[in-house]
């Protein structure tokens, strides 16, 4: 036992500068990570999360429903791609919530989201293939980071909107479930115009139930 203690003391005496450096680096990394978390909480900015939400209007009321929410790394499966979309999300403006993804990269990002969404509707696709009774509807997917109005949290959001709704958006603002949903109405109106002029920013998906 004494020999073990002597060996440990000898190791510590010979390597103490390196050990102190390791402790300092680990402590610094922990502090910076905690500081980033506190800053993100105060600013309500959670750009490491991707929220997939369905936006619809039913009986004259605007409805926003989360379909899924995941860590962006679990969706895009590539660290560089995840870091890049976070950088781009920070460039959105109150007047333009669409993430300015380069045209050549858009399909990669949108298709990654589509894969996650389609997985949730796998039963519908199988029922359709088997000739069973199903209902299909065309939806549009786009990537946004809303900053206008009183948005509670800033996240990367994959918005899913029924294609027919976006092409026939009512002129009058619908009733809102919450006052901060007024921002989503502004976003819908903006997206309706973008679908007409820049459809490449959207991906069309047919969902089956």
Q: What is the pLDDT along the chain (209 residues), one digit of tens a residue?
A: 566 566 655 655 766 566 455 545 444 434 443 444 443 434 456 689 999 999 999 999 999 999 999 999 999 988 999 999 999 999 999 899 999 999 999 999 999 999 999 888 888 888 888 988 988 899 999 999 998 766 557 889 999 999 999 999 999 999 999 888 889 999 999 999 999 999 999 999 999 88
- Residue-level pLDDT at 68: 92
- Residue-level pLDDT at 117: 92
- The DSSP result for 53-111, as a single string, is EEEEEETTEEEEEEEEEEEHHHHH--HHHHHHHHHHHTT-BTTB-B----HHHHHHHHH
- Residue-level pLDDT at 134: 87
What is the pTM for the complete model shown?
0.76
Length of the chain: 209
Please state, in angstroms and rounded to a whole number, the distance separating the CA atoms of residues 207 and 54.
12
Pairing of strands 203-208, 136-144: antiparallel
- Residue-level pLDDT at 154: 84
Q: Two tokens at 39?
A: 């800053």
CB 72 within 8 A of CB 50: yes
Among 150, 154, 147, 145, CA closest to 176: 150
- Residue-level pLDDT at 126: 87
CB 140 within 8 A of CB 195: yes
CB 204 within 8 A of CB 142: no
Pairing of strands 61-71, 45-58: antiparallel
- Residue-level pLDDT at 139: 96
Give 196's contacts (C-beta < 8 A, 6+ positions apart). Answer: none
Give 165's contacts (C-beta < 8 A, 6+ positions apart). Answer: 56, 57
DSSP secondary structure letter of residue 29:
H
């Amino acid at each position: 036992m004494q020999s073990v203690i002597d060996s440990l003391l000898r190791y510590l005496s010979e390597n103490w500068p390196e050990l102190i450096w390791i402790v300092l680096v680990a402590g610094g990394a922990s502090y910076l990570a905690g500081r980033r978390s506190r800053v993100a909480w105060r600013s309500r900015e959670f750009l490491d999360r991707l929220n997939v939400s369905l936006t619809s209007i039913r009986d004259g009321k605007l409805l926003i429903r989360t379909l899924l929410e995941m860590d962006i790394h679990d969706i895009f499966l590539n660290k560089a791609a995840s870091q890049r979309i976070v950088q781009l999300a920070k460039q959105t403006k109150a007047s333009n919530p669409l993430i300015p993804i380069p045209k050549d990269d858009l399909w990669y990002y949108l298709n990654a989201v589509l894969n996650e969404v389609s997985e949730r509707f796998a039963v519908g696709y199988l029922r359709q293939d088997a000739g069973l009774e199903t209902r299909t509807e065309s939806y549009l997917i786009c990537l946004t980071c809303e900053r206008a109005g009183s948005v509670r949290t800033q996240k990367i959001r994959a918005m899913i909107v029924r294609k027919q709704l976006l092409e026939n958006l009512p002129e009058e603002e619908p009733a809102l479930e919450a006052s901060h949903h007024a921002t989503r109405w502004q976003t819908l109106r903006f997206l309706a115009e973008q679908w007409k002029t820049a459809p490449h920013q959207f991906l069309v998906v047919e969902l089956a139930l």
